[in-house]
């Protein structure tokens, strides 16, 4: 099954660490070609690229994901370099753990922009190229908060609800065009973002990024007429805290 991804071109955001790096490494092992799109921390992106160096052809395109012109340029460069594009994985995101009364309009705008609007716009840029692929797939990394509202996470929850909403609509609209659209809603993944937000947590009983990467691979390697719209991933001994 692993060679089903051989030479497939994958555009991935948020590849600098955590879930994104794990996805990049897994798909490269399966023969996919990677485009690590966006993020201004070039050092982190390069560390991911180094992990792929001997496995697959790849591009590293650092930049501001909130700039619509950068998104268009990144997709166009991908298509020009590889002459195709098969898979888009919207993984980049930010979180906020803050009492509702203290949330500012700047907080709200930032999370809605990065977690919902950026993947929305990037997907619009990618659709014309995906329509030419025989294995076109879009995977959005959402969160369990897209289904449940957790205390201290009002804006983060709103942004992931928004992402899940347009994901469902997109899946219905583009199924007849042979583009599969999925959402993965993980909870309790042990990433750098969680380490910062909840330094009291330890890896025991939590989901590891590599487990999410395996689910991404499952979606891509089992592409058929039986469509799984969404996978919700709970951790052991789960508690309501954050993604």
State the Cα–Cα distance between residues 54 and 56, nearest whole angstrom.
Answer: 6
Q: Which of helix, strand or coil describes residue 207?
A: strand
Residues 6+ apart with CB under 8 A from 84: 9, 129, 132, 133
Residues 6+ apart with CB under 8 A from 48: 15, 16, 17, 20, 21, 24, 25, 36
Residue closest to 53 by CA, chosen among 13, 18, 86, 24: 24
Which of 150, 156, 174, 190 is flagged as catalytic?
A: 156
User: Are 94 and 143 contacting, i.e. CB atoms less than 8 angstroms apart?
Assistant: no
Active site residue 156: yes
Residues annotated as catalytic are 156
């Amino acid at each position: 099954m692993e060679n089903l991804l051989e030479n497939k071109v994958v555009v991935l955001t948020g590849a600098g660490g955590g879930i994104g790096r794990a996805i990049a490494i897994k798909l490269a092992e399966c023969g996919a070609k990677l485009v690590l799109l966006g993020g201004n921390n070039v050092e982190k992106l390069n560390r991911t690229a180094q992990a792929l160096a001997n496995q697959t052809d790849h591009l590293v395109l650092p930049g501001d994901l909130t700039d619509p012109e950068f998104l268009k340029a990144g997709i166009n460069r991908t298509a020009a370099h590889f002459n195709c594009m098969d898979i888009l994985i919207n993984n980049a995101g930010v979180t906020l753990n803050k009492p509702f009364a203290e949330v500012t309009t700047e907080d709200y705008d930032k999370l809605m922009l990065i977690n919902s609007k950026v993947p929305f716009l990037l997907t619009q840029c990618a659709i014309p190229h995906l329509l030419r692929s025989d294995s076109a797939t879009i995977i959005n990394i959402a969160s369990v908060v897209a289904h449940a509202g957790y205390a201290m996470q009002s804006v983060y929850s709103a942004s992931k609800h928004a992402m899940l909403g347009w994901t469902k609509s997109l899946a219905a609209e583009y199924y007849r065009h042979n583009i599969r659209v999925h959402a993965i809603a993980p909870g309790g993944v042990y990433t750098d973002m969680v380490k910062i937000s909840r330094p009291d947590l330890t890896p025991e009983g939590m989901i590891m990024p590599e487990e999410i990467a395996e689910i991404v691979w499952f979606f891509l390697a089992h592409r058929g007429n039986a469509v799984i719209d969404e996978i919700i991933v709970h951790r052991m001994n789960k508690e309501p805290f954050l993604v």
